[in-house]
């Protein structure tokens, strides 16, 4: 079948009524976070500044330059450094520690972070216990001195 010049390949369609748009249920947005009062904002800022100072003190003892470390290990080590204040999630949320780590890292080191692994620093091995984060490794016991033979 040959088409004459200018003929359309498809026959014209009869005008059909336009489809009725589907009605979607209204999107449920999460509730907006409660706006903090000025006092709450100031308390949060002071807490962050306190944590910043404590993390700086911690970093001077427990972190060394070079290598890499996972964020979870730094969180555990930070908790171990302040066992009386921050030993549990109830004492200090992991997210708050992670925020302070990130703040310190981006002010001091500024290398990449991939999947929670920070480049450019690592935990001081002096403060690892049995290869895990925690208390310092106990010093090895000295070898007993050989018994001195007396003249009897």
Q: How many CB atoms lie within 10 A of CB 81?
A: 18
Q: Give this prediction's pTM.
A: 0.64
At 73, is the pLDDT very low, low, confident or very high (cuts 50, 70, 90)? Answer: very high
Give the CA dihedral 3, 7, 11, 16, nearest 10 degrees: 170
Rounded (5°) CA angle 130-135-140: 60
pLDDT digits (tens, 9 = 90+) for 98-116: 999 999 999 999 898 999 9
Kindly report, residue by residue over 50-64, the tens digit of the pLDDT. 999 999 999 999 999
**Kind and range of the H or E run holding 70:** strand 63-70
Cα-to-chain-centroid distance, residue 131:
21
Q: Residue 73: which H helix or E strand, with range?
A: helix 71-81
């Amino acid at each position: 079948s040959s088409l004459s010049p200018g003929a359309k390949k498809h026959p014209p369609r009869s005008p059909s009524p336009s489809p009725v748009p589907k009605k979607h249920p209204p999107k449920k947005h999460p509730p907006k976070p409660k706006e903090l009062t000025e006092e709450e904002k100031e308390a949060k800022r002071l807490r962050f500044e306190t944590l910043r100072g404590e993390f700086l003190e911690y970093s001077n003892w427990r972190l060394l330059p070079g290598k890499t470390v996972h964020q979870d290990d730094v969180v555990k080590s930070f908790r171990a450094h302040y066992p009386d204040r921050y030993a549990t999630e109830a004492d200090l949320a992991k997210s708050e520690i992670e925020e302070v780590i990130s703040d310190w890292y981006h002010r001091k080191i500024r290398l990449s972070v991939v999947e929670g692994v920070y480049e450019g620093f690592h935990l001081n091995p002096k403060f690892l216990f049995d290869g895990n984060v925690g208390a310092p490794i106990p010093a090895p016991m000295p070898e007993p001195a050989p018994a001195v033979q007396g003249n009897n």
